Chains A and B, each alone.
Chain A
Amino acid sequence: EAQVTQNPRYLITVTGKKLTVTCSQNMNHEYMSWYRQDPGLGLRQIYYSMNVEVTDKGDVPEGYKVSRKEKRNFPLILESPSPNQTSLYFCASSAGTAKETQYFGPGTRLLVL
């Protein structure tokens, strides 16, 4: 089954404790992206990747890092999480020629205390 998976689905952590949210897709998609969803703000793009070793900033990249060492994986790293990074995070992927048809993962709900 074609899908985007994220782990963990729920995470409670404390300020400053490094964490990684994994994202994996099994569709051989070139394009992958991370979003955060906050009430009243919709989804905001954090980072995206056009292909292996090619990443670029979205609209709200501050406080986040990403890497794309393999085509299927696109982890989101919070080196020093802060409470304002409490949010619902979505990973998405799409084929390079149809980037608008993004397939979203189920989401990761993060609470930073």
Chain B
Amino acid sequence: GQQLNQSPQSMFIQEGEDVSMNCTSSSIFNTWLWYKQDPGEGPVLLIALYKAGELTSNGRLTAQFGITRKDSFLNISASIPSDVGIYFCAAQWGNFNKFYFGSGTKLNVKP
């Protein structure tokens, strides 16, 4: 199947710092998505991107759909303790019913 390479695997940051994570692939995708998973729960959609080059914000979160359609990044500004969790990138290709997920970035925020 398709492979999404997500990095970093984990991050330990101080409250107030900005965070950046990204996803790359050797394949072209039509849609890039970013999810957050809190402990013991299912993922929740944060941002969806539909066009190459698109830059979308959701509060302190900003994500971009790479111009080559093979990558995406997520930035979190001024992190707070409730940002703690695992962030996943996901993408759709061709058949819009199939989804591929990255391996996740575990974010730890120290107050």
Contacts and interface: CB of A to CB of B under 8 A. Distances in A.
Interface residues of B, number: 25
Contacts, number: 60
Given A90-B42, A100-B45, A40 B103 contact: yes
18 contacts: A42-B4, A42-B88, A44-B101, A45-B98, A45-B100, A48-B97, A56-B97, A99-B92, A100-B33, A100-B92, A102-B45, A102-B99, A104-B41, A104-B42, A104-B44, A106-B40, A107-B40, A107-B41
Interface string B36-65: 000011111100100000000000000000
Interface of B: 1-2, 4, 6, 31, 33, 40-45, 48, 88, 90, 92, 96-104
Interface in A81-113: 90, 92, 99-102, 104-107
Nearest to B2: A59
Contacts of A58: 98-99
B99 A101 contact: no
Given A50-B97, A100-B31, A104-B43, 16 more contacts: A40-B103, A41-B103, A42-B101, A44-B101, A45-B98, A45-B99, A48-B97, A48-B98, A58-B98, A60-B1, A92-B42, A99-B92, A100-B33, A100-B48, A101-B48, A107-B41
Contacts of B100: 45, 59
Given A90-B42, A102-B45, A43 B101 contact: yes
Given A48-B97, A48-B98, A58-B98, A42 B104 contact: yes
Interface in A5-42: 31, 33, 35, 40-42
B42 A107 contact: yes
